[in-house]
Amino acid sequence: MRFGSIILFVALCSFTAYYIYEPIPEEIDERWKLMLTNSFFRSLSNLADLSELLGLKDYMGVMYFITLAEKVVPVSDEHVKVTEEKFDGVEVVLYQPKQRGGETELRRAVIYLHGGGWCLGSSRMSPYDLLARTIVTKLDAVVLSVEYRLAPAHHFPVPYEDVYHVVKHFLQKGVLARYSVDPGRIAVSGDSAGGNLAAAVSQQLQREPGQQAQLKAQALIYPVLQALDLNTPSYQQNQDMPILPRTLMVRFWSEYFTSDKALFKAMMANTHNNAESSRLLKFVNWSAFLPETYHRKYNYSAPAVVQGVGGEAIGMDVPCRSIADPRASPLLVPDSALHSLPKAYVLTCEYDVLRDDGIMYVTRLRAAGVEVTHEHYDTGFHGGLMFTVWPTDFLIARRMTDNYIKWLDENL
């Protein structure tokens, strides 16, 4: 009996170790902590797949548990005043330094857009709440965190439009005056899908003359910037990397556009472009915009162009038009639309499928004459900035946070 228990215990330990262990590159700090953290994400993803297969709940509905588990009620503390409001019908969380008697000086402001693949995440999650408070206290700045609506309940362009309306509302002189914000010291920032929305809104505002206030800076943290080529070197190199494997990123893209699973299958095969989107592939040609060091063993091959995608294959033309829309893929704008953009901070990570999106944008922005600070983490992985709360607190998250806030302090 005792021997049988030992065998069972050893078998259980072996299975657990087998499930947790992943061939993560040695260069990544705190590898075992990342393996343990990712085992939770993988387990939830497997459960989500099973739930969808059985018709119980859709994949993103199950994955939304991550958002719920991290949610907090943002409340004021001794240093930060927190209010929940609506700007042009969209929920926002506003963080302001507590007023000290007789203060009249205008402050900087950061409009922050959370990540989560447009399908998950919330400005009310504890890592975003902590980041906002840190920005407020270290920079004496106002932080506007946007609770935009999520896919798949609200497909593109709804999340983008929510963000756009909030930013337009906030940039009104009367609104800025109400919150004691300096109109010349405002940045828009976001991580992952939030970085996508920040880049897209920055581009849109530059195309609109007569703004009451302009953005001074944009800070993009491992941003996702294009949906045309999902087979760049970083997508290939990091297809099984923790936190954001290629399959999940492709699923985020497809769910952002439509609930039709045909698009997901086409995107997984990188055969989702049609004649309209293929004309824009020149803007995401990684053989031209990636430095040689990132080419590695990979050779460029233009994505296949399939007639009927978005029409006969998917049953609608909306996804195809969306894929080619620069509001969804900011990398698709022509060079002429880049030169007037505000100065930029772009953070990329070596072990991230989105690495090349960020680096290509850096290359194109610099070529257009935009001042860019590119911070690349050779041992970084996607989502690193958000791992600041126990038990998933990583040292690299502290470095990223410190460097990000330092840049804001020096450039805003």
pLDDT, position 14: 38
Whether residue 307 lies inside any domain: the answer is no
Whether residue 367 lies inside any domain: the answer is yes
3-class DSSP state for residue 196? helix
Q: Euclidean distance between the first and final Cα of the chain, in Å? A: 69
**What's the number of domains the chain is made of?**
1
CB atoms within 10 A of CB 80: 20
The CATH number of the domain holding residue 381 is 3.40.50.1820
Element (H, E) at 411: helix 395-411
Whether residue 114 lies inside any domain: the answer is yes
Alpha-carbon span 74 to 262, nearest angstrom = 39
| Residue from 260, 352, 356, 357 carrying the catalytic annotation | 352
301 catalytic? Reply is no
Whether residue 23 lies inside any domain: the answer is no
- What predicted TM-score, i.e. pTM, was given to this entire model? 0.93
Alpha-carbon span 329 to 230, nearest angstrom = 12
Alpha-carbon span 167 to 184, nearest angstrom = 14
374 catalytic? Reply is no
Whether residue 306 lies inside any domain: the answer is no
CB atoms within 10 A of CB 64: 20
Given a contact cutoff of 8 angstroms between Cβ atoms, the answer to whether 247 and 303 are in contact is no
Whether residue 57 lies inside any domain: the answer is no
CA distances from 45 to 49, 52, 367 (A): 6, 11, 40
Domain hosting 223: range is 68-227+327-411
| Residue from 145, 192, 254, 329 carrying the catalytic annotation | 192
Whether residue 214 lies inside any domain: the answer is yes
DSSP string, 241-271: -SSS-HHHHHHHHHHHH-S-HHHHHHHHTT-
Alpha-carbon span 145 to 72, nearest angstrom = 14
77 catalytic? Reply is no
Whether residue 303 lies inside any domain: the answer is no
What does the pLDDT profile of the chain (412 residues) look like in tens digits?
454 444 443 334 434 544 566 778 888 888 889 999 999 999 999 999 999 999 999 999 999 999 999 999 999 999 999 999 999 999 999 999 997 655 678 999 999 999 999 999 999 999 999 999 999 999 999 999 999 999 999 999 999 999 999 999 999 999 999 999 999 999 999 999 999 999 999 999 998 877 778 999 999 999 999 999 999 999 999 999 999 999 999 999 999 999 999 999 999 999 999 888 989 999 999 999 999 999 988 888 889 888 654 444 444 455 768 899 999 999 999 999 999 999 999 999 999 999 999 999 999 999 999 999 999 999 999 999 999 988 889 999 999 999 999 999 999 9
The pairing of beta strand 372-381 with beta strand 343-351? parallel
- Which stretches does DSSP call E strand in 258-371? 343-351
Q: Work out the burial of residue 263: count CB atoms within 10 Å of its CB; fewer than 13 is exposed, 13-18 middle, 19 or more buried.
A: buried
Buried-state track 329-349, b at ≥16 Cβ within 10 A, e below 16? bbbbbeeebbeebbbbbbbbb
Residue with tokens 């556009």: 257
| Residue from 114, 155, 272, 382 carrying the catalytic annotation | 382
